[in-house]
Structure 1
Amino acid sequence: MPHAVELKKYIIAGGSGFLGVSLAHHLAKYGASVTILSRSEPKVAGPWQHVTWDARTQGSWQNQLNEADGLINLTGRNVNCIKTPDHQDEILRSRVEATRILGVALRTVDTPPPVWVQMSTAHIYGDPPRAMCTEDSPCGYGLAPFVGKAWEEAFHASLLPSQRGVLLRTSFVLGRNRGAGGGALATLGMLARLGLGGKVGSGSQGMSWIHEADMNQLFERALTDGNMQGTYIASSPHPVSQIEFMRELRRDVRMPIGLPAFEWMVRIGARWLLRTDPELALYGRFVISKRLAEEGFEFQYARLRESLDDLLGNRKK
Structure 2
Amino acid sequence: MSRKVLISGGTGMIGTRLAEMLIDTGYEVALLSRQPGTGRYRSFRWDLRAGTIDEAAVPYADYIINLAGSSVSEGKWTEERKREILTSRLGGTGLLARELAKPGHHVRAFVSASAIGIYGDSGDQVVNEETPAASATDFLVDVSQKWEAAAHDVEKLGIRTVVTRIGIVLSPEGGALVPLARTVKMMAGAPLGTGKQYMSWIHLDDLCRLLVQMLEEPQWQGTYNAVSPHPVTNKEFTETLASVLHRPLVLPKVPEFALNLMMGEMSEIVLASQRVSAEKVLRQGFTFEYPHLKPALESFYEEE
TM-score (norm 1): 0.88
Distance 1:40 1:187 in 2: 29
Shift of 1:314: 5.1
Which of 8, 11, 21 pairs up with 2:6? 11
Partner of 1:278, secondary structure, is: helix
Q: In structure 2, give the amino acid aligned to 1:107.
A: A
Query: How far apart are 1:161 and its partner, in Å?
Result: 2.6
**Equivalence for 1:34:** 29
Deviations 1:242-279 (A, max 9, x none): 000011111121111242311122222335xxxx8222
Identity of aligned residues (%): 31
CA distance in structure 2 between the aligned counterparts of 1:71 and 1:187, rounded to whole angstroms: 31
Alignment of 1:144-183 (within 5 A): 144-159=140-155, 161-177=157-173, 182-183=174-175
Q: How many positions carry a matched residue from both structures?
A: 300
Provide the secondary structure at the position in 2 that maps to 1:297.
coil
Query: Contact conserved, 2:44 with 2:54, CA < 8 A, in 1?
Result: yes
Greater mean deviation of Cα atoms: 102-111 or 69-78: 102-111
Name the residue aligned to 2:213: 221
**2:201 is the counterpart of 1:209:** yes
2:286 and 2:48 mapped to 1: Cα distance? 32
SS where residue 66 of structure 1 aligns?
A: helix
Residue 288 of structure 1 is matched in structure 2 by: 277
CA 281–27 in structure 1, closer or farther in 2 if over 3 Å, else same: same
CA distance in 2, matches of 1:252, 1:156: 41
Q: How far apart are residue 280 of structure 1 and its match? A: 2.0
Does structure 1 conserve the Cα–Cα contact (< 8 Å) formed by 2:171 and 2:300? yes
**Paired residue for 2:69?**
76
Aligned-residue offset at 1:309:
0.6
Q: 1:139 aligns with which of 133, 139, 148?
A: 133
**Change beyond 3 A, Cα 1:39–1:313:** farther
Please state how far the C-alpha of 1:105 moved relative to its aligned partner. Answer: 1.4
Shift of 1:195: 1.6
C-alpha displacement at 1:301, in angstroms?
0.5
Shift of 1:183: 2.1
C-alpha distance in structure 1 between counterparts of 2:125 and 2:291, whole Å: 20
Aligned residues of 1:172 and 1:207 also touching (Cα < 8 A): yes
The Cα shift of 1:148 comes to 0.8
Cα-Cα RMSD: 2.1
Q: 1:42 deviation in Å? A: 10
Contact 1:203 1:241 in 2 (8 A): yes
- 1:309 alignment partner, one of 288, 298, 301: 298
TM-aligned CA distance change 1:12 to 1:268, over 3 Å = same
Alignment gaps of 5+ in structure 1: 1-5
Answer yes or no: is the 8 Å Cα contact 1:130–1:285 preserved in 2: yes
Say which SS state the counterpart of residue 150 (structure 1) adopts: helix
Runs of 4+ in 1 over 6 A off after TM superposition: none
